[in-house]
Structure 1
Amino acid sequence: MKNNKKSKASVYIDGSNMFYTQKHLGWTIDWKKTATLLKKKFNVLEIRYYTGIKNQDDKMKKYLSYLRRLNIKTITKPLKIIQDQSGRTIYKSNCDIEIAVDILLDTNNFDVLVLFSGDSDFVYLIKTLQKQFQKQIHVFSSRRTISWEIKLSANKFWFLEDLGKEIKRR
């Protein structure tokens, strides 16, 4: 990632989407390395990580504490518990609205939105930020989990597979 002039960027991470993306990748993202990489490219104003959390999930609480030590702001909400038709329990995070609202509230502070998600639910937000606010949108996702709508909408998209040497947790 080369850079001539660093643009002000706010980074938003869809934790649930990245959880499944990492499962597809077969490796874990090192957020410390990722933050370092982003700071080489942009003047990073803030990094925010959104996720749902189960009650009494000590492993997740420890993970979120680790992120906070990296100066990544964590935004959480209780996981929604749903029973499917077969009676199987499904946990849903659904932080898309929180992410979108916070991005809109933050719009005047950044030139570039860096979004870690391949979720097509963000396409309308992306188009609005580009058209109404003249923002650049950079999306980070994997080849297998990025939606085609996001690829068509973002100003730039980065495949995590291509950045593995720089951001993979060892």
Structure 2
Amino acid sequence: MIKQFVKGRVYVFIDAENLFYSQRTLGWRISYEKLIHYFKHECGKETKCFVYTGRDESNSGQTKFLDMLEINGYIVRTRVVKKIKDHKGGYKWKNNLDMELAFEMDDVKDKYDTAVLMSGDNVLS
């Protein structure tokens, strides 16, 4: 289905953190194993898939997830999440990889003909 929209070398950039929260809100579950196989089948074996997400080193489930991504051929970009106090006295976790994703898209623009951006964040739209 995506073949009609892409040409040449395809790079897929995935904002995994925002995509995670969007899929949770919608009740969806993305199979990252199937996703990379889909892109490589539809767009060619040379397709590269980059994943950007925060990393909580104390979260063993997340470590397993990141390992699975690498085993399946994703190029994983992470940043350790920061605990930030909010105005209500609680805490929220923040990593802000949006800019890194955008900068890398620009840095490697000569290496791809088509970029696919997946995110649940309207800032990147």
TM superposition score normalised by structure 2: 0.87
Q: How does 1:123-134 map to 2 (within 5 A)?
A: none
Deviation for aligned residue 1:37: 1.9
Tell me the residue number matched to 1:7: 8
Tell me the residue number matched to 2:115: 113
What RMSD, in angstroms, separates the aligned Cα atoms of the two structures? Answer: 1.8
Contact 2:21 2:120 in 1 (8 A): no
Stretches of structure 2 that go unaligned for 5 or more consecutive residues are none
User: Are residue 18 (structure 1) and residue 19 (structure 2) matched?
Assistant: yes
Q: Quick one: distance in 1 between partners of 2:103 and 2:12?
A: 14
Tell me the residue number matched to 1:48: 50
Deviation for aligned residue 1:27: 2.5
Contact 1:16 1:93 in 2 (8 A): no
Q: Quick one: distance in 1 between partners of 2:22 and 2:122?
A: 14
The change in CA–CA distance for 1:74 and 1:85 in structure 2 (over 3 A counts) is same
Tell me the residue number matched to 1:142: none
- Kindly indicate whether structure 1 or structure 2 has the higher relative contact order, using CA contacts under 8 Å at least 6 residues apart: 2
Q: Quick one: distance in 1 between partners of 2:14 and 2:35?
A: 11
Match of 1:103, SS state, is: helix
4+ runs deviating over 6 angstroms: none
Stretches of structure 1 that go unaligned for 5 or more consecutive residues are 123-149, 151-170
Contact 1:52 1:93 in 2 (8 A): yes
The change in CA–CA distance for 1:118 and 1:18 in structure 2 (over 3 A counts) is closer
Q: How does 1:94-109 map to 2 (within 5 A)?
A: 94-109=96-111
Aligned match for 1:74, one of 73, 76, 82: 76
Q: Quick one: distance in 1 between partners of 2:63 and 2:72?
A: 14
Contact 2:54 2:81 in 1 (8 A): yes
| Residue-pair matches, total | 123
Deviations 1:49-98 (A, max 9, x none): 11111232211111100111100111111112111111111011210111
TM superposition score normalised by structure 1: 0.66
The change in CA–CA distance for 1:50 and 1:2 in structure 2 (over 3 A counts) is closer
Deviation for aligned residue 1:2: 5.5
Q: Quick one: distance in 2 between partners of 1:52 and 1:117?
A: 14
Q: Quick one: distance in 2 between partners of 1:104 and 1:54?
A: 27
Contact 2:7 2:114 in 1 (8 A): no
